[in-house]
Structure 1
Amino acid sequence: MRAWVGYGGTFDPIHCGHIAVAGAVRDALDVTVHLLPAADPPHKDSTHADASQRLRMVELAVAGERGLRADARELSRSAPSYSIDTLAEVRAEVGPACPTAWVIGADSLAQLHRWHRWHALFELAHVIAVGRPGFGLDVDGLARVDTELADTIRRRLQPLDRLLAAPCGGLAVLPMSPPRPESSTEIRRRIAAHESWMSMVPPPVAAYIVRHRLYARPDPA
């Protein structure tokens, strides 16, 4: 295995932006990218389609896409599923020498210091931060969010193409120009409001949403 690369999220629903991000990472590193839908969180209103539906939409979205794969491992846990737990499981599977990376959005990078055991992530994997509209990837901007986060990023920042030279510990950015505009929240809003939305998701996902009448109610305020 050249490397193991994971891209987690609620994928509620998965959309064309998610696929574009996963494809950009795949192409930049010549790897397979695993898309991992998160388990249902403890609070029922936090997701709108259930875990099995979100997994099925991911499977439909990646079907026929080279180097993209649905990974259901987070859905088998009864306890809250943290990225650190997923990466520990992956590391046990691939061994200590296999380069491993976790893909996040720029919005998540700005909140990384709030993640469960966030420092330990780098002991298990690299982090790849991908551009999102309205969120910068520059370290100076992140210093205004949290100085410890910015210092950690400065120490670990390296070019994307160098990540696979080590098993873990680095951080690289992938700007995406322009950043993908799709948003699961906006898609759900449009569906509930009977506005145009189908072009924002892969066609098989759109058909699944229509067939199962997902997201017909507005999100709770």
Structure 2
Amino acid sequence: MTAAPGLALFGTSADPPTCGHQALLEGLTDRFAQVATWASDNPSKQHAIPLEQRLELLSTLVQSMQAPRLQLVQELSSPYAITTLQRAEARWPGCPLSFVVGSDLTGQIPRWKDAASLLQRCQLVIVPRQGWPIQHQDLDQLRNLGGQVEILPLTIPATASSSIRQRPAADQIPAALHPLLLKHNFYGFAPGSG
């Protein structure tokens, strides 16, 4: 497959990064010429560990993937997507930008800060997540706000950070992260857990 021109932007709470995050990043690097990711605070979520530690986990995952098209760009991090997009526009002027979200967020986007401006300035790429079907009325609402929407047909494992926060599951976390989780006892991971 020939990589699409431009840059895919994928921010995540990384609380913690899962095998689903890894599969998504792998799929994006197959599809796009460049992929930028970062760890962020989500204003509608309570985070289990501080941003600095979630960044350490995401950074370890990105390094372990050894994907030349993938880069960690923490300077893009903001609780607000529009701020991230403005930073990306300043960093890569003239580059076509695609903002990537999971299907679980599709219905929330119209309520985001300056959603119409965001949607009119980049392509919105939605990746289906198991258990979160894409609703046609949500797509219509995004398009009515000026959004150019692409649904990216990737197969993402049905892993959820929220489930791991409730019950450690080592098989749902990329192996490269296990030493850090054990070292810091993040998310209840300890020798013999999972």
> TM-score band (shorter)?
0.7 to 0.9
1:135 aligns with 2:135: no
Deviation at 1:151, TM superposition (A): 4.3
Per-residue CA deviation, residues 91-135 of structure 1 (Å, 9 max, x unaligned), is 12211x311111100011122111111111123211110011122
How do residues 136-155 of structure 1 correspond to structure 2 at under 5 angstroms? 136-137=133-134, 141-143=135-137, 150-153=140-143
Superposed displacement of residue 170, structure 1 = 2.4
Higher strand share: 2
Q: 1:113 to 1:34 in 2, by over 3 A?
A: same
TM-score, structure 2 as length reference: 0.83
Could you list the structure 1 runs, at least 4 aligned residues long, displaced by more than 6 angstroms after superposition. Answer: none
Sort the Cα spacing of 1:118 and 1:49 in 2 relative to 1 into closer, same or farther, 3 A.
Answer: same
In structure 2, the residue matched to 1:165 is none
Partner in structure 1 of residue 70 of structure 2: 68
* 1:40 Cα deviation after fit: 7.3
Paired with 2:19 and 2:71, the residues of 1 have a C-alpha distance of: 15
Counterparts of residues 35-74 of structure 1 (less than 5 Å): 35-39=37-41, 46-65=46-65, 66=67, 67-74=69-76
Cα distance change on mapping 1:106 and 1:55 into 2, 3 Å:
same
Identical-residue share of aligned pairs (%): 24
Query: CA offset at residue 82 of structure 1?
Result: 0.4
**Aligned residues: CA RMSD:** 2.4
> How many angstroms does 1:142 deviate by?
3.4
User: Residue 154 and residue 19 in structure 1: after superposition, are their counterparts in 2 closer, same or farther (change >3 A)?
Assistant: farther
C-alpha contact (below 8 Å) 2:119/2:142 kept by paired residues: no
1:18-69 C-alpha deviation (Å, 9 max, x unpaired): 111121122123x22111111375x9x8111111110110111011421222
Corresponding residue for residue 89 of structure 2: 91
Asked if structure 1 preserves the Cα contact closer than 8 Å seen for 2:76 and 2:87, the reply is no
Output the amino acid matched with 1:38: S
The aligned amino acid for 2:149 is L
Give 1:187's aligned residue.
Answer: 164
Judge conservation of contact 2:18–2:173 (CA < 8 Å) in 1.
Answer: yes
Q: Distance in 1 between matches of 2:31 and 2:7?
A: 14
Q: 1:120-173 deviations in whole A, cap 9, x for unaligned?
A: 112321111001112223xxx331xx5xx51443796xxxxxxxxxxxx62100
Query: Does 1:116 pair with 2:119?
Result: no
- The yes-or-no answer on 1:206 pairing with 2:178 is yes
In structure 2, the CA distance between the partners of 1:4 and 1:28, relative to structure 1 (3 Å rule), is closer
TM-score normalised by L of structure 1 = 0.74
